[in-house]
Amino acid sequence: MYVSAIIAAGGRGRRFGAAEPKQLLTVGGRPILERSVSVFLSHPSVHEVVVALPRELIDDPPAFLRSAKAFALHGPRKPLRIVAGGARRQDSVANGFRAASAASDVIVIHDAARPFATADLIARTIAAAAESGAALAALPARDTVKQAASGELVVAQTLPRDSIFLAQTPQAFRRSVLEDALRLADDVTDEASLAERAGHRVRLVKGEASNIKITTPEDLPIAEAIAEATDRSAEAFARRGAESPSPEREGFSRAGTGYDLHRLVAGRPLVIGGVTVPSDVGALGHSDADVVCHAITDAILGAASLGDIGAHFPDADPRWKDASSLDLLARAARMVAEQGLEVGNVDVTVVLERPKIRDHVDAMRHAVAKALAIDAERVSIKGKTNEGVDAVGRGEAIAAHAIALIRAR
Ligand code: MG
């Protein structure tokens, strides 16, 4: 499951009244925005982070967003994109949504002004949205809630407290649910309200009292106190971590498989593993129809749980028409590297009746290895016929099976 996080930091914090955007103020010595972004950058369930910033900050984003080093402590590196915020909160979220990977299954949205959401709260919200479609963190009301008559400071009614929850963020959505919600594009203070209005069930996840929203200067002393308490326990946790390194991370490796088949027709080049093999027929396809590159691309994306080749390089997209499949493979390898992972080895079987590929295998291994940025001895390519059986055996198609091992760098 691929998860994208959108941090809504596009507002100027008018209620705050400070000269600089409130998300750049520091609490406990760190900017509010850095705190809200870093918990997602270091989160094991989140694959990419999109930050919607006020337009005036886009050209000169804060240093901590520019410097990947600031997050080096937080485990695997992952894509961090910066987009311009819009006039309203949901415009910022919509801009973030457009910049997020087309492969994301779940999108989690968070207010930059809530710097203390824990990794556990984020994980529970993502899990509930993956299961139910939409979910938000919310706190049960502790005070008795009175509803006032409209325009007057007179109680119209007392609401039953046990059914009142105060909405927080994170809020998470399956991709299709968020698409429906953003299509409504009404002026609201959270995306969950849009999802409700679009007719989706929205699950409540138990929020955290410390997950406060910093809205006015009166909130700052409370934020300082929370920062002091959470930073102290985070330091203690980091010290314990340094003493006993995580067994999950150590020796971490994962396998993925890929398969591809293309028809063979006259008048097309036969490109296999980046090498054009002399042949009277070639593979039919939108790109160069290189089954070896396509199968390996799927294998490494699969091993990293990053979706598949069709999600990242859809053949309906004119950008990938006649694309070199070696180039697509290199792009997929960079996506894997951005997760802090590297390709250990790949092994491929090409199923093709004729011509024989034996004389070209070394050139293919070197071309594929270069795209993957690894040594050629870690790339294996083997040829096979289908003994005259089925369409591949009759020479009407070429197929490839690939397996890849990836591991933490
Ligand atoms: Mg293909």
Cα 367 to ligand 1 centre (Å):
18
pLDDT of residue 187: 67
Cα 317 to ligand 1 centre (Å):
14
Cα 284 to ligand 1 centre (Å):
9
Cα 348 to ligand 1 centre (Å):
14
Residue with tokens 């071309």: 367
Sequence-distant (≥ 6) Cβ neighbours of residue 206 within 8 angstroms: 124, 137, 138, 139, 140
pLDDT of residue 13: 62
pLDDT of residue 244: 44
pLDDT of residue 80: 86
In DSSP terms, 258 is beta-bridged to: 402
Cα 377 to ligand 1 centre (Å):
25
Q: pLDDT tens for residues 176-194?
A: 999 988 888 766 778 888 8
pLDDT of residue 248: 47
Cα 137 to ligand 1 centre (Å):
42
Which CATH number among 3.90.550.10, 3.30.70.270, 3.40.640.10, 3.30.710.10 corresponds to the domain 3-242? 3.90.550.10
pLDDT of residue 161: 86
Cα 287 to ligand 1 centre (Å):
8
Cα 189 to ligand 1 centre (Å):
44
pLDDT of residue 72: 39
Whole-model pTM: value is: 0.59
Residue with tokens 């995306």: 191
Domain ranges in the chain? 3-242, 253-408
pLDDT of residue 314: 81
| Common-topology check for domains 3-242 and 253-408 | no
Cα 378 to ligand 1 centre (Å):
23
pLDDT of residue 69: 37
3-class SS string, the chain:
CCEEEEEECCCCCCCCCCCCCHHHCEECCEEHHHHHHHHHHCCCCCCEEEEEECHHHHCCCCHHHHCHHHHHHHCCCCCEEEEECCCCHHHHHHHHHHHCCCCCCEEEEEECCCCCCCHHHHHHHHHHHHHHCEEEEEEECCCCEEEECCCCCCEEEEECHHHCEEEEEEEEEEHHHHHHHHHHCCCCCCHHHHHHHCCCCCEEEECCCCCCCCCCCCHHHHHHHHHHHHHHHHHHHHHHHHHCCCCCCCCCEEEEEEEEEEEEEECCCEEECCEEECCCEEECCCCCCCHHHHHHHHHHHHHCCCCCHHHHCCCCCHHHCCCCHHHHHHHHHHHHHHCCEEEEEEEEEEECCCCCCHHHHHHHHHHHHHHHCCCHHHEEEEEECCCCCHHHHCCCEEEEEEEEEEEEC
CATH architecture group of domain 253-408: 2-Layer Sandwich (3.30)
CA-to-CA distance for 247 and 235, rounded, in angstroms?
Answer: 20
Cα 293 to ligand 1 centre (Å):
8
Cα 256 to ligand 1 centre (Å):
17
pLDDT of residue 271: 97
Ranges under pLDDT 50 in the chain: 68-75, 243-249
